[in-house]
Amino acid sequence: MAAAVPDEVVHQLLAVIQANPAGVSNEHIVKQLPELSGEQRVGALNKLLQQGMLDLLRKGEVLFYRVKDPKKSTAPKGADNEEKIVYNIIEEGGNKGIWIRDIRLKSNLNMTQLNKILKNLENKKLIKAVKSVNASKKKVYMLYNLDPDRSITGGAWYQDQDFESEFVDVLNQQCLRFLQMRRDAAKEKRDGPLLTKQMSCCSVKDVHKFISELGISKVSLDEDDLETILKTVVFDGKAERIMLANGSYVYRAVEQPLPPPGIVRTPCGICPVIKNCSTCGQVTPIVCQYLKDWLD
C-alpha cells in the first residue's frame, strides 16, 4: 500500500509538517493539501512514520504529527527491533540518563539480552554510560552526543566524579578577597556610614565578572555556581547576605563581632580528650602533656 504513494506526495506532506515545529493535526494537513486523497495521506504518513521521520503525539483526543528533531533522529540504522526499543528508552531519559534497571523494566527484556544490546549500542557510539556523582556504582545511560545533566556530573565542581575541593577553596578565597577589596575601597571614600555600607555590597553579577576576568577557572562558571561559592563565604562567617527590596541578594564582607574567645587560647579549650580529664586516671591537669608543652 505504501508503495502506491509517490515520493512527491511524501515530500509535500513532510514540507507541511516541517513548517510547524510544534506539530500539525490531521485537519491541518487536509486544509493545506486538499488535493490529497485520504488514502494517499494515510499512506504517506505511514511511510514517514516507518522511516522514523515523524513523531506521533496526542493532545486530548486529536493526534498530532511532528517532525523528529534531526539531531535526535539518528536512529540506529540497521538495528534490530530490540535495539531500537532500547535506544528509544534511553533517548527518553534525556541528559539525566537512565538506569539499567529502569531500561529492563520498560523494555521487558532479560538481563543478558539487554546487556548485549547496550554493549552493541555503546560500541556503535550511539549511547554512553556515565557514572553518577551521587552514587559512584550507579551507571546511567544516555545518548552519545548529550552533555550529562548537572545532577549527574555535579556541575563545575566535579572532575570525573571527584569533588574538587581545592578549586572551591581557591574560588572561596578569591570571592572573599573581592568582597574585602570592595569594602576597603568603600571605606576610603568616607561618604557616610550608610553609603559606605551600600558600596561595599556586591551582587553576584559583580563577583562573576571579577572571577571571569581573573581567569582562574578553566571551566566556565555561571552565576548560580558563584552564588553557591558566595554562600560558603557567608557560612564561613566572613560575609553576610542581605536581601534587597527587589528580592535579590547582595553580599558584603564583615568582621567577626568577637575576638577569639579566651578559652581557645588555653590548651583546655581545644583539648581533644577533655571529656576524659579528671583528678584521677590517665588524664589529669597535673600530668597533662598539652599543658606541659604549652607552659614551657
Residues 237-266 that bind another protein (CB under 8 A): 237, 240, 254-266
Length of the chain: 296
Q: Closest distance between another protein and the C-beta of residue 138, in Å?
A: 15
Residues 207-236 that bind another protein (CB under 8 A): 228-229, 231-232, 234-236
C-alpha 171/C-alpha 263 separation (Å) is 32
Site string for another protein, 52-71 (x = CB under 8 A): --------------------
Task: For residue 157, state whether it binds another protein (rule: CB under 8 A).
Answer: yes
Ranges assigned E (strand) in the chain: 24-25, 54-59, 62-67, 98-99, 127-131, 139-143, 158-159, 162-163, 202-203, 239-243, 249-253
Task: Give pairs for 66-69: CB < 8 Å, separation 24+.
Answer: 66/17, 66/21, 66/22, 66/23, 66/24, 67/14, 67/17, 67/18, 67/21
- Within 8 A by CB and 6+ apart from 33, the residues are 12, 13, 16, 41
Q: Closest distance between another protein and the C-beta of residue 171, in Å?
A: 9
Task: For residue 289, state whether it binds another protein (rule: CB under 8 A).
Answer: no
Q: Are the CB atoms for 233 and 175 separated by under 8 Å?
A: yes
Q: Which is nearer to another protein, 79 or 268 (CB)?
A: 268
Q: Closest distance between another protein and the C-beta of residue 13, in Å?
A: 50
For helices 204-214 and 165-189, angle between their N-to-C axes, nearest 10 degrees: 120
Task: For residue 291, state whether it binds another protein (rule: CB under 8 A).
Answer: yes
Stretch that binds another protein, among 60-68, 70-78, 210-218, 274-282 (CB under 8 A): 274-282
Q: Closest distance between another protein and the C-beta of residue 151, in Å?
A: 11
Given the rule CB under 8 A, which residues bind another protein? 134, 157, 163, 165, 168, 172, 192-194, 197, 228-229, 231-232, 234-237, 240, 254-266, 268-270, 272, 274, 277, 279, 285-286, 288, 291, 294-296
